[in-house]
Homo-oligomer: A and B are copies of this chain.
Amino acid sequence: MVRLSDVAEKAGVSAATVSRVVRGEGKVGDKCRAHVKQVIAEMGYRPNINARALASKKNEIIGVITPNVTQAFYGALVTGAENAAQQVNYRVMLNNSHNQIDTELDAISSFRENGSQNIVYHSNVASNEQLINLAKEIQGLVVLNRYIPEIAHRCVWLDNTAGGRLSVKHLIDKGHRKFVFLASNQDLQDPVDRLKGAKGALLEAGIPWLEENVGYIMPSIDNGMKGISQLLERKCEFTAVVAFNDSLAIGAMNRLQDLGVKIPEDVSVIGFDNTDICKACRPQLTTTHYPIAEMAKYATELSLKLTTTDEIDSTKTHLYLPHVYERDSVATRSAC
């Protein structure tokens, strides 16, 4: 491995000078710089990252914490972050936390020990207090998919209330008036907000909210099937099902089809997220698009900005709006 000092010796300058041209900082004479660059190219020198990190206490690493990249949603998240990282030659360190707070905290410690100040953190288990405290300590920490007023300018999140409202409004516009909801039973804000939005859309349209028409379950295809069965047993009447996410929607859809219900002719179904599986089912799933890849990309850019510039506007948060992505699982209901 060729070192900085090797380059310096061959170029006939000091190590300090080479360091300056490598980093592109400090004053260096034009022809001196050109010469050094030449030698660097000739020798194929590449800086030792660990030595650099040790001396500067910085490292070009962006840590990404996510429950589990096996799930399409989080895969898209990581891809978005990695995309932004590649543009500035940063590396991404990944942690699958499996929703274990200890694992998440440990990953954060580890990232920091590696000299990384840049962390994009999606947590379903950390408390607001924990996040606020971490944000104080870690300059480049960005909280993804969550809104915490105290650190609003460090949050990149989706307007889930609007999402819930849009989903339902889309169905109302198509003539539906009898709904059933497959909600998440996870102790998170997202499910609450989406339901709140849904409720709002209903009230606006003068449709009563029936709590008995809501099933709370852990999101998965299998549970979507179970959930819709339970709703059916309760003798809920509906022409549309609104699901917390795509998996639940697809489970519901498939179970209904098994029972001879035609989608979307008899019942319309709408999902949430717009993950890849929406194209696998039949009919293809109409869903509310969650631009997670873009959001993750933006979040890592924000993290970078947080650690490199002072001009951050701490009075502003970063809120994304979802929109309905139409496929084939929702149909117009002429009469009701």
Contact = CB atoms under 8 A, between A and B. Distances in A.
Interface of A: 46-51, 53-54, 59, 61, 68-72, 74-76, 78-79, 82-83, 86, 91-96, 103, 109-110, 113-115, 221-222, 247, 250, 254, 257, 276-277, 279-282, 293
Contact of A94 (B68, B72, B78, B109): B78
Contact of A91 (B70, B93, B276): B93
14 contacts: A47-B113, A48-B54, A49-B113, A50-B59, A50-B115, A51-B54, A54-B54, A69-B75, A69-B79, A78-B94, A82-B96, A93-B94, A221-B279, A277-B280
Tell me which of A48, A59, A279 has the highest count of chain B C-beta atoms within 10 A of its own C-beta: A279
Contacts of A70: 72, 75-76, 79, 276, 293
A91 B68 CA distance: 15
A282 B279 contact: no
A281 to B, nearest CB: 5
B113 A46 contact: yes
Contacts of A79: 68-70, 96
B82 A94 contact: yes
A71 B76 CA distance: 8
Nearest to A89: B110
Contact of A53 (B50, B74, B86, B94): B50
A78 B82 contact: no
Contacts of A247: 280
A46 B115 CA distance: 13
